[in-house]
Structure 1
Amino acid sequence: MTETRATGYDGLSSRLVPEAELRRFLLDCFGIAGHELLVGHADRVAEDLRDVPQDVVFAAFCTYRQARGHFAMAFDVGVEGRLADRVDRREFAERFAARFGAYVLYGDTEPPGLWTVILADGGRLLAAMEEEDGRSVLYAATAPVPGLPEVRVDEGLRRIR
């Protein structure tokens, strides 16, 4: 029997989610107990781990930080293989978007230079993004992005391989 390897789910959210809400979401999403999860701001992880014994292993480990541009928050979630079996990358993004009424950008199997954006209503589109000076800005997408009328709609993105 092959075990699924640990993996990471990283992405950008249009909504900055308070840490307590993020923690509740992750516990519910992965169906784990509180002691199996660490959630902390990326700038404070070392401080959060200061009193944790070095041999402690978390089933899920999430760091987040404020983002700029079209996104309010960046997140990185590391998960054990058993949790990846429960909730894959796409399902995680869909649940996050629905729970927080946000659009979520993540990468999986898209062509280079493109990203998947999950909308709060469950819709999915491909998008191209520029990252400059710490700002992440969408400049084209295969469908309109709610609240971002300046993002050009370009169905041709689907043909990029």
Structure 2
Amino acid sequence: MTETPATGYDGLSSRLVPVSGLREFLLDCFGIAGHELFVGHADRVAEDLRDVPQDAVFAAFCTYREVRGHFAMGFDVGVEGRLADRVGRREFIERLAARFGAFVLYGEAEPPGLWTVVLPDGGRLRAAMDEDDDEDDLFTLHAATAPLPGLPEVPVDGGLWRIR
């Protein structure tokens, strides 16, 4: 039997999730014990791990950062293959969006510049966003296939679904 390789789930959330809420969500989502999880701000990982043995292994390793624009938080979650078997990327994003009442942007197989956005109710739409903005922490959508809650300024363009 082939083992599932470790993978990562990353994206952007419209809501900044408190670290305690993020930690609780990840423990529940993946069904792991507290010692199997690391959660820390992307700018403070080395500091947060200073007192952790160098040979420590985490089943899930999450970093987050504040961002600007149409999103409040970026996240990166590395997971062991056994956790990816339990909860796939799409299901993870859907659970995150529902749990925190946020819309969450992620990418899987969309054409360059296009992304999937999952709404809190599980609805999905496609959105256009430039990745080469001059500022690393600024994420602004240029169009979406349906209106986004709280973002009436984002134009609706149903034609984004036709781009391959």
Shorter chain as normaliser: what TM range?
over 0.9
1:1-43 CA-to-partner distances (Å, cap 9, x unmatched) read 1111000000000000010000000000000000000000011
Give the drift of 1:150: 0.8
Report matched runs for 1:52-131 at 5 Å.
52-131=52-131
Report matched runs for 1:43-54 at 5 Å.
43-54=43-54
Give the drift of 1:146: 0.9
- Specify every segment of 5 or more residues in structure 1 that has no aligned partner in the other structure, as ranges: none
State the one-letter code of the partner of 1:103: F
Give the drift of 1:111: 1.6
Give the drift of 1:54: 1.0
Q: What is residue 135 of structure 1 aligned with on the other side?
A: 138
Going by fraction, where is strand more abundant, 1 or 2? 1
4+ residue runs of structure 1 moved beyond 3 angstroms?
Answer: none
Structure 2 distance, partners of 1:94, 1:138, is 20
3-state SS, counterpart of residue 144 of structure 1: coil
Structure 1 distance, partners of 2:146, 2:69, is 19
TM-score by length of 2: 0.96
1:108-151 CA-to-partner distances (Å, cap 9, x unmatched) read 11122110000011110000013422310011111111111111
Report matched runs for 1:4-15 at 5 Å.
4-15=4-15
When structure 1 is superposed on structure 2, of 105-114 and 35-44 the one drifting more is 105-114
3-state SS, counterpart of residue 20 of structure 2: helix
Identity of counterpart residues, as a percentage?
Answer: 81
Q: What is residue 25 of structure 1 aligned with on the other side?
A: 25
3-state SS, counterpart of residue 130 of structure 2: strand
Structure 2 distance, partners of 1:159, 1:112, is 13
**Cα root mean square deviation, aligned:** 0.8
Aligned length: 161
- Specify every segment of 5 or more residues in structure 2 that has no aligned partner in the other structure, as ranges: none
* Contact persistence 2:59–2:80 (CA under 8 A): yes
TM-score by length of 1: 0.98
* Contact persistence 2:113–2:130 (CA under 8 A): no
Structure 2 distance, partners of 1:119, 1:23, is 21
Is structure 2 residue 133 aligned with structure 1 residue 144? no
Structure 2 distance, partners of 1:154, 1:2, is 42
Structure 2 distance, partners of 1:151, 1:139, is 6
When structure 1 is superposed on structure 2, of 150-159 and 57-66 the one drifting more is 150-159
Structure 1 distance, partners of 2:92, 2:114, is 19
3-state SS, counterpart of residue 116 of structure 2: strand
Q: Of the candidates 134, 158, 161, which is equivalent to residue 161 of structure 2? A: 158
